[in-house]
Amino acid sequence: MSALLEVDRINSCYGDSHVLFDLSLHVERNEVVALLGRNGAGKSTTLKTLMGIVHPRSGRIALDGIPLEGLQPHAIAALGLQLVPEERRIFGSLTVEENLILAGLTAKPRWTLERVWETFPHLGQRRRSRGTELSGGEQQMLAIARALVREPKVLLLDEPFEGLAPIIVRDLLAICRKLATEGQTILLVEQNIAAAMSLADRIYVINNGHIVEALSTGALRRRPDLLHAHLGV
């Protein structure tokens, strides 16, 4: 049986700058996979390529057997891939509830607001607050919730714990673990190595646009030399 998300030898560029080189990875259904690497290694470009924000020059991307390469981001999102970008991109002038309603307008099926409040109790308490009134952690929760409203097959998280206080990271990790337990498939890009490894089943390590390691989280923990060589920890 093929993986839910399959990426086969993609090459992506920004103008004349070649960023991803024959990059391949896969994510199985109900699996959490982390893509780790230093700044500038190509992690965010990988997620943008999957979403059609960056179009690969070559290679194959398939979601649940459906080819994605060449499609526009809205079409890819409709097929079940949802990206939570590093910059969050919530609507600051809208309330939490309005952000969620807007996200779900064209989604079938979609999460109910009650399910959102159950998963993110703090957002339920702030449902009438505008985006500009939220803390960084609350904005990140809203960004993730907004993607989940569309009931994605695969949730792409780009640096979800970046710049957040440790207690907020702890709360977000707990939410992500709950989602994983419930069967949500996740592909995670993260600089917080400890947080990523506490969540993921498998790890890919990217360096200068190349996948240099692919192994289970347990295997990576047993290889501190790899962590030091590729991630500087």
Q: What is the average per-residue pLDDT within 59-69?
A: 96
The pLDDT tens digits for 107-149 are 888 899 999 999 999 999 999 999 999 999 999 999 999 999 9
Contacts of 131 (CB under 8 A, 6+ apart): 90, 91, 92, 93, 94, 95, 96, 99, 139, 142
- Using a pLDDT cut of 70, give the percent of the chain over it: 99
Q: What does the alpha-carbon distance between residue 184 and residue 229 come to, in Å, rounded to a whole number?
A: 31
The pLDDT tens digits for 18-49 are 999 999 999 999 999 999 999 889 999 999 99
Q: What is the pTM of this model?
A: 0.93
Position 87 confidence tier, pLDDT thresholds 50, 70, 90: confident
Report the chain's mean pLDDT, rounded to a whole number: 93
Q: What does the alpha-carbon distance between residue 46 and residue 10 come to, in Å, rounded to a whole number?
A: 9
Tell me which residue has tokens 């207690």. 167
Position 229 confidence tier, pLDDT thresholds 50, 70, 90: confident
CB 38 within 8 Å of CB 189: no
Position 1 confidence tier, pLDDT thresholds 50, 70, 90: very low
Q: Which pLDDT value is given to residue 233?
A: 56
Contacts of 207 (CB under 8 A, 6+ apart): 37, 38, 41, 230
The pLDDT tens digits for 171-201 are 999 999 999 999 999 999 998 899 999 999 9
- Using a pLDDT cut of 90, give the percent of the chain over it: 82
